[in-house]
Amino acid sequence: MREAEVRRLLAANLLCALAIVLATLAPAFFLDGFSVLGTHLTWLCVCSVCVATLNVILHLVLTPNRSPKRRSFGHKISRFLKCCIYFFMSCILFHAIIVLYGAPLIELVTETFLFSVLLSTFTTLQCLCLLGPNIQAWIRVFSKNGAMSIWESSLQITSVCSILGAWFGAFPIPLDWDRPWQVWPISCSLGATFGYMAGLIIAPLWIHWNRKQLTYKSR
């Protein structure tokens, strides 16, 4: 494993974490009354757009091109449309799962859907950037010992951390604390965001510490 590639992964992950920080702080200079708690839906939109845009750019620039064939314009358009469809389906699927776990079915639909968009940005979008609209590759990566590169290992860690963060973020909601961040879905979206940022930091460090055991043999 090349140290240069691990450093590239660390730099890319730090930029993604920085995008979240900027999405939290920068809009306050342009939007009156902007805050994570006070205008949470706006923050969800801004954070999702910033992270999605940066992820697409970073993966186009930094990750290796695994598909030298089929570079026609028609193939690129078809791939892009499939990615858009997969992302939208992911948002719907996350929305349904979140409702099954106790989110309001009729009320706060916009809040729940934007939270599902944020989760899809932290998880599905990375899969689409790195693996494309290939469900079999997704299943391989998230199976035991399925990663074939440090980028796929990072994808595993950040996706799992994001979902776990969202899950843990739901615990304070039913508690009788009457805190503004207990309003749905603030604590869950903050938990997912902190989980994602933790995964961004943990992934390159874990890969560096375990680089001798990680062989990434082709399958």
Q: What is the pLDDT of residues 144-200, one digit of tens each?
A: 778 888 999 999 999 999 999 999 999 998 887 888 888 999 999 999 999 999 999
- Which residue type, as a one-letter code, is found at position 52? A
> Across residues 5-14, what is the average pLDDT?
91
Question: Number of folded domains in the chain?
Answer: 1
142 in any annotated domain: yes
- Which residue type, as a one-letter code, is found at position 24? T
Distance, CA of 138 to CA of 56 (rounded, Å): 17
106 in any annotated domain: yes
What 206-209 contacts at long range (C-beta under 8 Å, 24+ apart), as own/partner pairs, is 206/153, 206/157, 207/1, 207/6, 207/9, 207/150, 207/153, 207/154, 208/6
Element holding 127 (H helix, E strand)? helix 124-131
What's the pLDDT tens digit per position in 48-65? 999 999 999 988 887 555
174 in any annotated domain: yes
- Are 159 and 203 in contact by the 8 Å Cβ rule? The answer is no
135 in any annotated domain: yes
| Among 5, 123, 143, CA closest to 63 | 5
45 in any annotated domain: no
pLDDT of residue 71 exceeding 80: no
- Are 195 and 162 in contact by the 8 Å Cβ rule? The answer is yes
What's the pLDDT tens digit per position in 98-140? 999 988 888 899 999 999 999 999 999 999 999 999 999 999 9
186 in any annotated domain: yes
Q: What is the residue-averaged pLDDT of the chain?
A: 89
- Specify the 3-state DSSP secondary structure of 37: coil
Residue 31 tokens read as: 């939007």
Task: Give the single-character DSSP code of 71.
Answer: -
Distance, CA of 210 to CA of 193 (rounded, Å): 25
163 in any annotated domain: yes
Neighbours of 173 (CB within 10 A): 17
* 88: containing domain: 1-32+54-62+75-217
Distance, CA of 129 to CA of 132 (rounded, Å): 6
119 in any annotated domain: yes
